Structure 1
């Protein structure tokens, strides 16, 4: 393998090494909390779903690339490619939807403005149906891309083809190529805009809490601090997504300006797009006291058994 392939393969293997066990840790920690604790919150449901879709994204995107580059063989057929890429697209779409939902829901939790009380109650009752609707929406939206995904280039392939190394996505003409790209850019920018708006509102509320903290009775301070810590953790998660989203879409917009984008550009875009799926569990674990406690207890129990 050449230097570029070695660096690329090493990068994706690193993302797998961090992302797969990290997301599994978040999922199983929240499942244990749900089964054995009465402190399971609605935000935990969103975080569990985020960890699940990010786990699927890492497996369906990073693993095929590292396997193909490491072995230097095309081991996937058309059906494999259709399943893998459809799964990745759905998981990526769910990731942005759920991160946006998390930031909006966290704002509703910490705000004391009476205007949002009714919406807060509705969201608390309807959170699971909302998540199910998002799943259904993303499963439907990305179904049309299944027929244009192939393992090998066909004789009738056009110049508007995305070469993913292990698979190809063949668009029939310039309008379908750019239309697809612009549609998803618009979708992504809409959800990221919602994240930024909710995050800005959270920062405003936290600033007001800081100013008013001296007027809060001591019995309420701990509750406010817990809410503030949870809100700050969400802000970090959103900030990570927005930064990587910006890099990802910079490469994607560039790809839309030319018929056949260089493979190195596509690889860079996929790498940065996958970073959120791999790094987000690190932020969730480091900012969630209950998960850290479960991990500490598990480590201590393991040591005591030896």
Structure 2
């Protein structure tokens, strides 16, 4: 195996090893919270949906890339390429939009009770299921063209005009107009939430700054500190997730624009590898931020760890 292929395989293996357990652990923690509390708060429901979509991104893209790179499974043909690219693009964009929904909801949470924005937050929370359904429907429809035109890998000599090399798959559009139109739609549906979530994050940062100034101005008394502390922790976690998105998906979108505008890169497997890597990096790393910042998740993991530790001596005694 060539060194480039080995490095590529190890990188996608790393994303798989980190992303699958990390996202699965967060999902398991929220399921335990929901079973214990009989409900999930709206912010927790958004995070749970986000993590579920991120797990789908890692499983449907990083795992097959790893298996194919090390030639463990011959998984890529015309049918599998259509399915993998369709699910990956749908889940990837859902991850972006759900990050925006999370940042917007956290931004609305900074509104004072009784204000118009607080009423908007209540409306969003009430119609959260409808928002999830709408996002799924829109993104499933938008991802159809790339899936329809996807094919299994071909020899370099068979790469035709208006095609995009996706390493083990090939997206062959019928015309340059179809290719450019699909690229414009893909870019727009990524850039729009990026702009909105950046604005929401700026508002959150302003709120955090003003709140810290107010705390500094207080004299005496410690009442009311617990809830603001929880709000600041949640806000910082959201800003961190948005920053990760802007960095990782910013590189991904930059490479995508470069791919659809510069003809020489159409047959470049390296560009395709970098795009998939950065598009999957957020899905693999974001659960680490959630585990560290979300007390409900970390508490469930800690309790399970303590229960496992407590059962180990009992098992040893019973065996003796």
Q: How many residues align?
A: 306
Q: Does the Cα contact within 8 Å between 1:158 and 1:173 map onto a contact in 2?
A: no
Partner of residue 203, structure 2: 201
Deviations 1:169-225 (A, max 9, x none): 111222222221122112211100000000001111111211223459743221111
Give the whole-Å Cα distance in 1 for the aligned partners of 2:143 and 2:258: 22
Partner of 1:58: 58
Q: Deviations over 1:261-292 (max 9, x none)?
A: 41111111111111001000011101111211
Question: Is residue 111–residue 205 contact of structure 1 (8 Å, CA) maintained in 2?
Answer: no
- What whole-Å deviation, never above 9, does each CA across 1:134-162 have from its counterpart, x for those lacking one? 11111122123322011144999632222
Deviation of 1:230 after TM superposition, in Å, equals: 0.5
Q: Report deviation, 1:301.
A: 1.1
Tell me, what secondary structure is at the counterpart of 1:168? Answer: strand
Asked if the contact 2:81–2:150 (Cα under 8 Å) also holds between the matched residues in 1, the reply is: yes
Structure 2 Cα separation of the partners of residues 227 and 73 of structure 1: 47
1:38 to partner: Cα distance: 6.0
1:71 aligns with 2:71: yes
Any gaps of 5 or more consecutive residues in structure 2? Answer: 313-320
Partner of residue 126, structure 1: 127
TM-superposed deviation, 1:103: 0.2
Q: Separation in 1 of the partners of 2:59 and 2:172?
A: 23
Which one has a bigger Cα radius of gyration?
A: 2
Q: Provide, for residues 92-132 of structure 1, a one-character-per-residue CA deviation record: whole Å limited to 9, x for no partner.
A: 11101100000000011122282312212211211121111
Superposition pairs for residues 235-250 of structure 1, below 5 Å?
A: 235-250=239-254
**Equivalent residues of 2:163, 2:171 under 8 A apart:** yes
Find the residue that maps to 1:172 and give its secondary structure. Answer: coil
Shift of 1:37: 2.6
Question: What RMSD in Å do the two structures reach over aligned CA positions?
Answer: 2.0
Helix, strand or coil at the partner of 2:305: helix
Shifted more, 151-160 versus 255-264: the winner is 151-160
1:219 and 2:223 aligned: yes
Relative to structure 1, is the Cα distance of residues 164 and 53 closer, same or farther in structure 2, using a 3 angstrom cutoff? same
Q: Distance in 1 between matches of 2:189 and 2:39?
A: 34
Bigger mean CA deviation after superposition, 159-168 or 102-111: 159-168
| Structure 1: distance between partners of 2:192 and 2:168 | 30
Stretches of structure 1 that go unaligned for 5 or more consecutive residues are none
CA contact (8 A) 1:55 1:277 kept: yes
* Equivalent residues of 2:159, 2:267 under 8 A apart: no
TM-score normalized with structure 1 length: 0.94
Q: CA deviation at 1:39?
A: 7.5
